[in-house]
Structure 1
Amino acid sequence: MHEFEYLRPKTLVELRRALDRGAVILAGGQTLLPELKSRSRSIGALADAKAVLPEGIYLDAGRLIIGGAATHAEIASNDTVCAETPALAQLADQVGDPSVRNRGTLGGALASNHPAGDWPAAALALDAVLHTDGGNVPFKAIAAGSEDLAGRIILEVSFALAEDCAYSKFLHPAARYAVVGVFVALGSDDRRVAVTGLAKSGAFEWADAGTCDAPLSIRPGHQAIREDQLASEAYRHALTRELLREAEAMLGTDGPRAVSIAQGQPMSRAISQHV
């Protein structure tokens, strides 16, 4: 790890001043710290923002508001989230391992926007808006590449309250991120489906998910499909269709609203044909 200056701002004004001078924000550090340790990234100063950023969770104007500094574990156990959007609570409870869940934050997860992250799919399907010190930014604009968060501080994130929603993912066996994940949200007059782990450029809305057998509609910015030793392009497409079925099967039931499927667990015939 390269040397850097460690700063602990006590107010948002001090944090803003540190960023204007070139410091990098540290919230949970689950993405940043591994980069620093591996020396794949070097910085001059690190501003620890955990004590400055909001971490409260509440309802306002028909939306669920979650502070940028709220950890995955705090979201998973929050009574308001569990009551209003249990899929988010259960998604948060399946992010990484306990150390990641107790250190990683919602703001950090959406700021890093990892191509296989769980939260980006939920943010797209639930029409999330990032409330920053520089104004409000719809997450769909971040996913589409028409907006970025350069120089902005995520203070809170607001989610639409769906009539019902569910998330299913196929786990990476070690890192526990989504090889593919599908989040389905039902509104009063619409249905939104978001996919993570499939496209190299990140989560996207599956526009023609009206039938499970429809080909994936990937916008021009998401043409490149992830392919690695865990899953080929064809396998990932098959996973996506089957995970949509898994998510839809949870809707309208008294059961869970998020599931993580591990390698070796029983899967459908449609997936096994692509192994």
Structure 2
Amino acid sequence: MRKVVSHIKESLEAYYPESEISGFTRIIIEYITKKPYLQVCVDPPVFTPELHDQIDVILNRLKQYEPIQYIIEETEFYGLPFFVNRNVLIPRPETEELVELILSENKKSGLSLLDIGTGSGAIAVALAKNMDRALVSAWDISYKALDVAVLNSKANSTDISFGRVDVLGDYPTDKKYDIIVSNPPYVLESEKEQMEQNVLEYEPHTALFVPDNNALLFYKRIADIALNLLTPAGRLYFEINQAKGAETVKILETKGFTDVALSQDLSKKDRMIRAKLKQ
């Protein structure tokens, strides 16, 4: 076991900081052995040549800065397991805070909810799992992303209605919702140079980037959809670009939403907006 840990550290020390390597070590060993890390430490298995080969394959991919979540095709979000691949963004901790905000403000049973741009299904699944008898729908433009979301819904035993919808075009109007939530593309094209290599080279750009000259196009469009599809006093929730908080608030107020509130994440960055439809 000690040799395996040393091998992982020595292989990656030229590529990653020590703190990140420690996390990789735990994830790799749990993935390879299919056992909790502490259990492996207490009762180490025999690391066969086949297991060593599997570890080396993972290490070689990490040296190319491929995200560990894509390599092992799994991650955790809001305490739930999720399958991920390169067709979906890896769910971020900041988005867990958005889920927490929605849960804290919506405790009624049987609420109807729409997640726009669902990706892996992380928001929709987490809300369906933690709200009482919520009626959850989720849209995405990507068939491949929807395949992932459906897998995650089934794996977490949630009942979600998925639909392939391009929100910049026509959209279904046959349902009304008490809650609409979206974490749409919001990273500016000009911000690419500030991003980590593992994000730029591996995560889907259509789910990340918007043109600098129309940075809030999805927020404007989804706000219009919400005006049409929310029930009276229904709520709209967004995750946002930290630099666009005031602009997004102004857009929602101009469109007639009330109780528009901008919230910060744990890093003290503007990250979430909540608004209410007039009754």
Larger Rg: 2
Larger RCO (alpha carbons 8 Å, 6+ apart):
1
Normalising to structure 1: TM-score of the pair? 0.27
Normalising to structure 2: TM-score of the pair? 0.26
